[in-house]
């Protein structure tokens, strides 16, 4: 929701960074890999108990993830670049959750439920993007919903920074993902029915 409604606020900074990166010779795919490595480092920092470092690295990886998409649109986006971008995003999120799960094994059950809910929600998102005729500026239909990447980062940040309330924030994240899943199913049914009737 924040990504859809408020992206324009940070887009000028993203545009400038993307332009500077392109001038240095970096490609969008290289930026995607750099963002992934930063996100992997964030997971490693969380696993080591360096929570503030992990938090900062997570958000920097998210910024790089936004920059790579802008770089792709300024040049020539590729389908493989989309695959890298979307799959690496999920690996970063999974890495943070796994890092917390291994640090707090008594809460592993909650982390597993959260991972399952994310898996299901992302499956709906990707399936609708694949079958919908509607297109956006991205390389597939981007279905807006309650929980987009920024909301996920906010919730992951709360889990990282306030580990004394880890169960609460994990279950809150789970609830948000379930609401998002039902919202996306409803919107998908509506969108696809309209396309079939057109």
From residue 11, how far is each of 45, 63, 106, 151 by CA, in Å? 28, 10, 41, 17
> Residue 37 to residues 18, 30, 34, 113, 168: CA-CA distances in angstroms?
18, 11, 5, 26, 29
pLDDT at 147 over 90: no
Which pLDDT score is estimated for 137?
Answer: 54
Weakest-pLDDT range from 28-32, 33-37, 192-196: 192-196
Three-state SS string over the chain comes to: CHHHHHHHHHHHHHHHHHHHHHHCCCCHHHHHHHHHHHHHHHHHHHHHCCHHHHHHHHHHHHHHHHHHHHHHHHCCCCHHHHHHHHHHHHHHHHHHHHHHHHHCHHHHHHHHHHHHHHHHHHHHHHHHHHHCCCCCCCCCCCCCCCCCHHHHHHHHHHHHHCHHHHHHHHHHHHHHHHHHHHHHHHHHHHHHHHHHHC
98-112, 125-139, 142-156, 180-194 — which is least confidently predicted?
125-139
Q: Which residues have CB under 8 Å from 8's CB, separation 6+?
A: none
In this prediction, residue 178 has a pLDDT band, given cuts at 50, 70 and 90, of very high
Domain around 111 = 2-197
Least confident among 41-50, 54-63, 103-112, 136-145: 136-145
* Local confidence band at 73 (pLDDT 50, 70, 90 cut-offs): confident
CATH code, 153: 1.20.120.1760
**What pTM was estimated for this model as a whole?**
0.88
Q: How many independent structural domains does the chain possess?
A: 1
Is residue 59 within 8 Å of 153, Cβ to Cβ? yes
């Amino acid at each position: 929701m924040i990504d859809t409604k408020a992206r324009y606020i940070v887009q000028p900074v993203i545009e400038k960074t993307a332009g500077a990166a392109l001038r240095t010779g970096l490609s969008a795919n290289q930026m995607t890999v750099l963002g992934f490595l930063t996100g992997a480092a964030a997971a490693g920092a969380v696993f080591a108990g360096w929570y503030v470092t992990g938090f900062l690295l997570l958000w920097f990886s998210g910024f790089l993830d936004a920059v790579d998409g802008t770089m792709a649109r300024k040049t020539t986006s590729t389908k493989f670049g989309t695959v890298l971008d979307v799959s690496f995003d999920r690996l970063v999120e999974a890495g943070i959750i796994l890092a917390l799960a291994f640090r707090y094994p008594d809460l592993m059950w909650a982390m597993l439920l959260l991972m399952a809910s994310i898996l299901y929600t992302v499956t709906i998102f990707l399936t609708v993007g694949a079958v919908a005729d509607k297109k956006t500026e991205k390389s597939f239909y981007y279905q807006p919903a309650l929980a987009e990447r920024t909301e996920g980062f906010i919730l992951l940040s709360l889990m990282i920074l306030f580990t004394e309330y880890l169960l609460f924030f994990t279950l809150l994240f789970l609830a948000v993902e379930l609401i998002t899943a039902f919202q996306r199913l409803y919107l998908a049914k509506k969108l696809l029915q309209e396309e079939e009737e057109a």
